[in-house]
Every structure is written in structure tokens, then in C-alpha cells.
Amino acid sequence: MNQQRTAVYPGTFDPITNGHLDILVRGCDLFDRIVICIAENPAKDEMFSLAERKAMIEEAISEHNLNSRVTVETFNGLIVDYAEKLGAIALIRGLRAVSDFEFEFQMALMNRHLNNRLHTVYLMPKDEYTYLSSSIIKNVANHGGDIHRFVPAGVKRRLVEKFLKTEGE
């Protein structure tokens, strides 16, 4: 029997921020193995392709020396089905502020309805990351603001490249 405790950490990660990484590191204290599941979410009109998002996350994982514990996959369909396929016992989500609660509550209860064996575990990031989101990072980067404290170096580089390219078009 596989005794490893596996959790999935799903999200859009467009792009990953230090807030997501903070949650990931906390999750590693609780689980043996975490699979970051990047959702294909056309409704969100993403800036980065799935391959780009995966590459940025993999770079960040290496920088944190988490390669042996964390892997990255992309998925579509229901997260509970994907989690079951991976043998996960829990789904990790970050809870930043009260404003996250309603959506998260709804999602946790629906996911429980869909698969009662999977638990949703909420972790809170460091206070300096509680107001972070991928959208706010993209907005600040677009206007030339300094984002280096909030994203891994590879993400910052790609954001700058992306916005320089759109300016040139």
C-alpha cells in the first residue's frame, strides 16, 4: 500500500507568485508529495500559455529545492477526478482575505459533494503576500512598476519580455 500522503495544489497560476510559493512550502510541511495542477481555464483569458506557466513553476520549484517533493501537471475537467487519479488525499488552497472565503467555501463544498474522500486544506500565506494576485502583478508590471519582491526572477523576466513585445506590436 502506498503510504505517501499526496496533495494537489490546483490553480490557474498565470503566473505563479511568491504567495503561491509560500503556500506550496507550507504544504510541503504537511504532505509527502504535492502535485501542482495547472488548470486550462479559457474563461480567464490567460496571458501565459500552459507550457509557459509550467516552465515558470518548474524553475521556481528548483530554486526552492523542492524537485523531489513537488511535480507540475496540467489538467482539464474536474479537479476531484484528476486528484483521485493521482491518489491524492487532499486539495490545497490558499486563503488570503475574507474576500476569498465565499468562493472557496462554495468550491470546497461542491468538491466534497463530488468526492467525499478528498479533503480541502486551506493555508494562509505570509501577511506580506495576502493582497497579492496574479492580476495585480500583471497590472503593475504592465505599468513598469517594481515586482521583484512578489514573483520569482524568471517570472519577472518573462513579464517584462511579454510587455515589451506587446508595446512593439
Which residues participate in catalysis according to the annotation?
20, 44, 96, 134
Are the CB atoms for 159 and 147 separated by under 8 Å? yes
**Burial environment of residue 168 by CB neighbours within 10 A (0 to 12, 13 to 18, 19 or more):** exposed
Are the CB atoms for 8 and 34 separated by under 8 Å? yes
Taking the complex as a whole, the smallest distance from the CB of residue 36 to ligand COA amounts, in Å, to 10
Place of cell 472557496: 104
Chain-centre distance for alpha carbon 161: 22
**Residue 27 interacts with ligand COA (CB under 6 A)?**
no
Q: Interacting stretch for ligand COA, rule CB under 6 A, among 10-18, 28-36, 53-61, 157-165?
A: 10-18
Q: Using the rule CB under 6 A, which residue among 7, 8, 9, 10 binds ligand COA?
A: 10
**Residue 78 interacts with ligand COA (CB under 6 A)?**
yes
- Interaction site with ligand COA (CB under 6 A): 10-14, 17, 19-20, 23, 39, 41, 78-79, 94, 96, 107, 110-111, 125, 129, 132-135
